[in-house]
Amino acid sequence: MADSMIFVLTTYAVMLAAFFWARHRILHIGVMGSIMLIDLAFPVWLVFNRDWYKRLIEQEEILSFMIWMHFMLVLALYALYVMQIMAGRKMLKGDQTVRPDHRAQGIGVLIVRGVVILSAFMLIDPSDQG
């Protein structure tokens, strides 16, 4: 599980750096887009590499507030990603009026993604070493 934690923290650090290097457009778009794709693929990877049926159904953790809070935070992050992409595409087409919105959404992404990572760490089962 430590490898997953290191990976997620590394991608967060890279995302934070790309946020501050937004003036380097190609780097910024490439890094942010890649991390968004990673964030979409990571839950799939977890499903295939962890015993979720045992944990959620047999141990009845599906009823846990923490599980649902984490799930809702992930959905909020995905919604912010969609808004970011829409604003970014407008900026690439020349509409600079959305720049303040894009930056505010970017700050929101960094905050929500940080809380998603924190909540995921709180859900780690120390007995699950798979």
> Whole-prediction pTM value?
0.89
Q: What ranges in 50-64 are assigned the alpha helix state H?
A: 52
Residue 127 — φ and ψ, nearest 5°? Answer: -80, -10
Task: Quote the CA–CA distance of 100 and 19 in Å, as a whole number.
Answer: 14
State the pLDDT confidence band at 16, using cuts at 50, 70 and 90.
very high
Question: Which residue bears the tokens 């991608």?
Answer: 11
pLDDT above 80: residue 79: yes
Across 103-109, average pLDDT = 97
Q: What is the residue type of 32?
A: M
Residue ranges of domains in the chain = 2-123
pLDDT above 70: residue 1: no
End-to-end CA distance of the chain: 7
What's the pLDDT score for residue 130?
A: 52
Q: What is the pLDDT of residues 19-56, one digit of tens each?
A: 999 999 999 999 999 999 999 999 898 888 877 777 78
